Amino acid sequence: MGHKNLAEHYENAEFEKKFLNHEIVAARDIIEKQLGNKVKFMVWPYGVYTDR
């Protein structure tokens, strides 16, 4: 999992969608494990986002 990987462009849109979903779910799972609480909301660093 890595933030720089999110900046890459993937020609296969379905692969990109699955990859990004995995990145988000994995990050949430790590945060929940470390905090011992459920995560309700997550935001991108510095407020950077796309419509995806």
pLDDT digits (tens, 9 = 90+) for 1-48: 445 555 556 678 888 889 889 999 999 999 999 999 999 988 877 877
**Cα(15)–Cα(35) distance, rounded to whole angstroms?**
30
Alpha helices in 1-52 (DSSP H): 13-35
pTM for this prediction: 0.60
φ, ψ of residue 18 in degrees (nearest 5): -65, -40
CA–CA separation, 48 and 14 (whole Å) = 22
* Domain definitions of the chain by residue range: 3-47
